[in-house]
Amino acid sequence: MSAIETKHQPQTYDSAFLKACRREPVPHTPVWFMRQAGRSLPEYLKVREGIPMLESCMRPELVTEITLQPVRRHDVDAAIYFSDIVVPLKAIGIDLDIKPGVGPVVADPIRTRADLDRLRDLTPEDVHYVTEAIGMLTGELGSTPLIGFAGAPFTLASYLVEGGPSRNHEHTKALMYGDPQLWADLLDRLAEITSAFLKVQIEAGASAVQLFDSWVGALAPADYRRSVMPASAKVLESVASYGVPRIHFGVGTGELLGLMGEAGADVMGVDYRVSLDEAARRVGPGKALQGNLDPAVLFSTPEAIEAKTDEVLAAAEGLEGHIFNLGHGVLPTTDPTALTRLVEYVHTRTAV
């Protein structure tokens, strides 16, 4: 164990989740869900009522309560820190807001070299509320690991360049192709900010971290390798010395799985478009896999949910390590009972 693990995570080290991340034998397949803390839970809607998203991310007691809610309700094997990928950008002074039904919106997009000066370094003081909340959480969670997370440089760059969510990423790609040096400098700056944000979470007590590259599936493999992979690799390498598992996930990234694995993660997240056995072939040996039930399956019958879960578990047989998750985030109108039943089913079905 590293010094950080010894100091912060002796209780969680032997958890099923961290064992699976390390590709060690587990008592059952561990389960957690992306977006497990959020709009699918009535208790979440109650405590968030009237509080804007970004403000809720900056209130340690509220973050603690929201992060704990799915652990209490579903008995998942890991908690994920409640936040948003744009929090570090807001913390360094970028004028942005999360608009309901839209997502992050940037008032003044970053598209020129002069705009880079607005992306200053992130310090722990900028996100003191993160340190405080994780301290509270690790005290409450006990032997349940806490996953910290951050947005990957490409996805953050896309929000900044487009000014908000985008279907085609035309401004992003125009910059990437038209001014490759400015693009490289932008991603490198974002890699520094993202690395600092992950370090704050690990040093506060997170047992693992996940790097989300939500929009990178919009790229061809050659563009990813040349224009994105170096920045993601820099982030993952920056936290390697802490000894905590590093998970990497993107949406629509079936064609990129091998390259994303090369970027340096310990665990590759797989969306629902690629079966886990095929994903293992693409990623290659030496990494655990995470995934990958289609979130829409949870709107079906209990029998259908179990049948599709069995398909995921069958595809995972023989993997070096498997963490059960959805192939994307929990959809807002998902029945929470379906999630609770799914956790119990996977635990029972895979118990040694």
Catalytic residues: 35, 39, 48, 84, 159
DSSP calls for 221-270: HHHHHHHTHHHHHHHHHHTGGG---EEEEETT-GGGHHHHHHTT-SEEE-
Q: What's the half-sphere exposure (Cβ side, CA atoms, 13 Å) at 93?
A: 9
Which residue bears the tokens 């982030």? 235
159 close to 213: Cβ distance less than 8 angstroms: no
**158 close to 215: Cβ distance less than 8 angstroms:** yes
Cβ–Cβ under 8 Å, residues 250 and 213: yes
Residues 6+ apart with CB under 8 A from 309: 293, 342, 345, 346, 349
Radius of gyration of the chain (CA): 19
- For residue 311, the surrounding DSSP H or E stretch is helix 302-316
DSSP letter at 183? H
Neighbours of 118 (CB within 10 A): 15
Q: How many distinct helices (H) and strands (E) make up the chain?
A: 16, 9
